[in-house]
Chain A
Amino acid sequence: MSILVNKDTKLLVQGITGRDGQFHAGRMKEYGTNIVAGTSPGKGGQEVNGIPVFDTVSDAVKKTGANTSIIFVPAAFAADAILEASYAGIDLVIAISEGVPIQDMIRVNSIIKQNGTKLIGPNCPGLITPDEALVGILPGMIFKKGNIGLMSRSGTLTYEVVNMLTMNGLGQSTVVGIGGDPVAGLYYQEILEMYENDPETEAVVLIGEIGGDAEEQAAEYIAQHMTKPVVSFIAGQTAPPGKRMGHAGAIISSGAGTAEEKIKAFAKANVPVAKEPSEIPGLLKEKLAKATS
């Protein structure tokens, strides 16, 4: 098991002839991800890294049975690309594109909900089930198969933490980068539920940051529904209010969305919050020891 992606994933790369699309399609294929097709309007019939290119997603799905898609198109075209995948019957769409307007994502989320499509991102590094499928831009070599689920709004901070987990002998079931935008697809709650139901996941790491109240809601969900241990870290304790910290969603506005409130919410839900990333492996081991004793 694992969540969202695995050996049965048949991946389509939208924007495969672009610089990023081409580069990452190569890396994902090298990792062992089953990439069945790419799309690029007007370039159907070509091949990129030995992957057949189609003009439309619907063509690609009909001819290859692709069930998952990853998007590398520029931000202005990302909404259209997500919808094209959704209408072609793709189950899971991962949007890497950064800088997508919020109004686009509001419309997209409403439409894909009706179509039953799952979305991760935009502005995310993607996800990985180690040894099975890398669907994103994450550096595959730091991951190791195991039983820790990890989800995060940030890319490199995730790599930092995963690296520590791996070095401490804590492998991962599936690691999901949900992205740094204020309006995104799948979020903590949906993914926590998947980890809870995944027999391969024994404990979960939640890496949050300032902005919004998704961490507070996740804390409430954990208190009510999670039997598996959860450990967290919140970035941005020193961030000034009113300033966007890189990610469009990482902003304290009108005094809401501070790290302090999020840490308080986790404490209330009995979720330990690491003071610095290097504490996470230790906190996990403690929790896991308690869970088995």
Chain B
Amino acid sequence: MKIHEFHSRNIFRKYGLPVPNDVLCHSVEEVEKAMAKFDDMVVVKAQVLVGGRGKAGGVKLAKNKEEAVSAARKILGMDIKGLTVEKVLVTEAVDIEKEFYVGLINDRNTKTVTLMASAEGGVEIEEVAKETPELIHKLPIDPLIGLLDFQAREVAMKLFGNVKLARKAAVIMQKLYQLFVETDSTIAEINPLVLTPDHKIWAIDGKMNFDDNALYRQAEIEAMREADEDELKEIDAHEKGLSYVKLDGNIGCMVNGAGLAMATMDMIKLYGGEPANFLDIGGSSNPQKVVDAMNILISDKNVNAVMINIFGGITRCDDVARGLIKALDIIKSDIPIVVRLSGTNAEEGLALLKETGLPTVETMSEAAKKAIELSQGQKS
């Protein structure tokens, strides 16, 4: 789960990280009012859940109230990578002598939280990682011990080259680690961490993502969720025990199991079609799930053919067939469907479907070819 920058900054503050003062505004009027709190330069920053807003013109420096208002007027309502800016953050500007990067991630290989730090801050860290990986210092953190003083200091020395500053930065890294673990983060980064000419250190931008599996114990974080339309559909599906991701194609897929669902999408593409979605109905045999899944597929206006691909293990094919018959009874739709059932109770399932007249095939390759054919028939 992603959150906005202003939420990240509030979490940072709660853990004692140095973050400049700011005010969140939803309108130009609010920006005008907020400016009473600032007597020097400010930065007006678009709050959107995608990267690259600086390049898109979503971050502007303002010397006074007039400039701030004019910046807010330009940024509010702006489209950044398909998202409309509905909020801006007005924040104190700080003088920058040098920018650094400090971040934490869950590292799959070391099976630890890993600290990443670089003197190349303020730019996309992925680019630094690709072009000059040697400029990123990495430290896997022992989960049973935590980030020790000397370890944080050593990394900070590589960035600041000055013990006094390194001590300050080390404390920031340790606090970041504490908040990372306590909030079940998957990413917590300060980019940039700024050194001012008078040797103060500020976290002036923050990005945090969270582990969806841990949201059950992170009610405060969960409350910060702001989902767009596609994501709402995904969350709704999740609540019904389905896993759904919308894509841009026209062939709807209903599959049991995440790996098989991905392989099904790939196969449609391999034979020249375009999958409309990823949809995993999971391992149980509840017919209601099939009904819910059909509803989701059909609510996508681009879908003009549906491919159902089930390999029965724990999922029983006859249960899927029953769910499908029930779904077709409730949902009146002309969208053509091809069904492939294999594995546990496939014969029983296929026998049930025979009465419906739905086309059935034996293998997933055949199902993909048939679905593409059906989708093209529908177009003409």
Contact = CB atoms under 8 A, between A and B. Distances in A.
Contacts of B260: 154, 156-157, 160, 235
B109 interface: yes
Interface stretch (A51-59, A195-203, A237-245): A237-245
Nearest to A256: B126
Contacts of B247: 238, 240
A206 B271 CA distance: 23
Contacts of A217: 109
Nearest to A107: B143
Given A246-B261, A246-B278, A183 B108 contact: yes
A103 interface: yes
A32 interface: no
A283 to B, nearest CB: 15
The interface size bin for chain A is 35 or more
Contacts of B363: 278
B11 to A, nearest CB: 16
B311 A237 contact: no
Contacts of B135: none
Interface string B83-121: 000000000000000000000001011011100000000
B320 to A, nearest CB: 12
B37 to A, nearest CB: 35
A254 B103 CA distance: 14
Interface string A220-263: 00000000000001011111100111111110001110010000
Nearest to B2: A242
Contacts of A159: 311, 313, 343
Interface SS of A by simple majority = loop
B258 interface: yes
Contacts of A239: 262, 265, 278
A89 to B, nearest CB: 20
Given A155-B283, A183-B108, A245 B211 contact: no
A236 B144 contact: no
Contacts, number: 168
Contact of B313 (A99, A155, A233, A235): A155
Contacts of B263: 157, 160, 233, 235, 276-277
Contacts of B270: 275-276
Given A156-B313, A255-B126, 16 more contacts: A99-B213, A102-B106, A106-B113, A139-B313, A156-B260, A159-B311, A163-B342, A182-B108, A207-B259, A209-B262, A235-B260, A236-B262, A237-B269, A238-B266, A246-B243, A246-B262
13 contacts: A101-B211, A125-B313, A139-B313, A153-B259, A155-B283, A160-B342, A213-B108, A217-B109, A235-B260, A240-B245, A245-B243, A246-B258, A275-B270
Interface of B: 106, 108-109, 111-113, 126, 142-144, 181, 184, 186, 211-214, 216-217, 243, 245, 247, 255-263, 265-270, 275, 278, 280, 283, 311-315, 342-344, 363-365
Task: List the 7 closest A-B pairs by CB distance, nearest first.
Answer: A154-B259, A246-B258, A156-B257, A157-B259, A101-B214, A235-B262, A139-B313
